[in-house]
Amino acid sequence: MSLLSQHLRRSYASVGLRVLCKPSYTRRPLDKFRQLRHLAICDLNSTGPSLQRREPPAQNSPRQYQQSAMAGRSTAPPTEDFAALQQLALQAAKTGAEVVQEALDKPRNIHFKGVTDLVTDTDRASEEAILKVLQKEVPDHGFLGEEGGVSGNADSEYLWCIDPIDGTTNFAAGYPSFGVSVAVLHKAVPVAAAVVEFAGGPTAWVTRTYSASQGAGAQCNGKELKVTNTTDVTQSLLVTGFGYEHDEAWSANMELFKELTDVSRGVRRLGAAAVDLCHVALGITDGFWEYRLKPWDCAAGVLMVQEAGGIVTTMDGNPYTVFHRTTLAATPGLHARLLESTKPKTEALVNSGYPLGTWYVPDVYEQYVQTALS
């Protein structure tokens, strides 16, 4: 057993968490998830606060800490568990990034999951490398990968969300940007994450490495991250994304794209949600929104934004988890103003019957999602 596994087992025991000595590694496809319908807590007529974090035990804190909903992050110190998990997320993301780095500027073996939704052999190899790191260090946890589905301990309070290449279309074309995204949820709340972003382009590739843990802030290449102080939409640079299905949500976002392009400095569309969210945390963009993201797309980036001082909700202003199908992330001064545009479009979709509640949630996570939203 690795030193980190021993350390985490001792840590879990100290706070009364159950550790299984013989975890199950049965891999289950995503269609085995049960889809939660609209939760009662997600009342479309209410505007809830951004996702709150659990406070550490009082004995871990030598002074009083307060949680700021407007800042979208907790100022409480991270537990020893989360600091260790941040380092593990970094190790896993960097391992996946090494696989991607080796494949840059080389011919791709491209396969299609849909008409335009593609996957490469590098996606699969990167996910396998990441899982190998995680399964060695935290075999008692659950894992959710974009390419491989669910594996590990289905009863664990911890679930790792893995996107081996976020922005596969960009990677396949050699177009920056794309990245490797790894995050771990504890009871449905992101508590540690890392993203390795590839930028620059052919013959000049460079990387940025982001990481964060709950209550400890977010960093990029060792530098502390902070969202901008932008409060005026006319002075903002925004970013969004579009899914592969050209349906009602796609059309609604096209309208939002035009509306906000008309009143802002510009709206970018880079094609990698994890990277988009990291750019908000980095302070080079001011806000992000998108429909129909999956947990592996946004879990790491959402934590970066929250720990950099930003606010994250659904696009109709309700409390958020990474299992939701709408994401709005922005600076504290800009969030409410962007919501004035995104909320009417999103409510119209819901009222028309378009499914924008929660995505597929592992059975054990139903209770955690509801608790996170309460």
CA 45 to each of CA 42, 119, 158, 336: distance values in angstroms, whole numbers, following the listed order? 9, 39, 32, 15
Asked about 26 being catalytic, the answer comes back as: no
Asked about 228 being catalytic, the answer comes back as: no
What is residue 326's three-state secondary structure?
strand
Pick the catalytic residue from 95, 168, 285, 342: 168
> Sign of the CA dihedral 60, 66, 69, 75?
negative
Buried-state track 249-266, b at ≥16 Cβ within 10 A, e below 16: beebbeebbeebeeebee
Angle between helices 248-263 and 335-351 (to 10 degrees): 150
Residue closest to 134 by CA, chosen among 144, 120, 124: 144
Asked about 155 being catalytic, the answer comes back as: no
Pick the catalytic residue from 130, 162, 165, 311: 165
* Tens digits of residue pLDDT in 8-63: 444 333 333 333 233 333 344 333 333 322 322 232 233 333 333 333 333 333 22
Strands (E), 204-297: 206-213, 218-220, 223-224, 237-240, 266-268, 287-291
Mean pLDDT of the chain: 81
Pick the catalytic residue from 81, 127, 146, 290: 146
Residue identified by tokens 């307060």 is 66
Asked about 130 being catalytic, the answer comes back as: no
Pick the catalytic residue from 81, 157, 163, 307: 163
Asked about 166 being catalytic, the answer comes back as: yes
Pick the catalytic residue from 81, 140, 166, 286: 166
* Tens digits of residue pLDDT in 270-301: 999 999 999 999 999 999 999 999 999 999 99
Report DSSP state, residue 323.
T
Asked about 41 being catalytic, the answer comes back as: no
* Tens digits of residue pLDDT in 83-132: 999 999 999 999 999 999 999 988 777 776 655 556 789 999 999 999 99
Pick the catalytic residue from 81, 147, 197, 297: 297
Q: Is residue 248 classed exposed, middle or buried when 0-12, 13-18 and 19+ CB atoms within 10 A define those classes?
A: middle
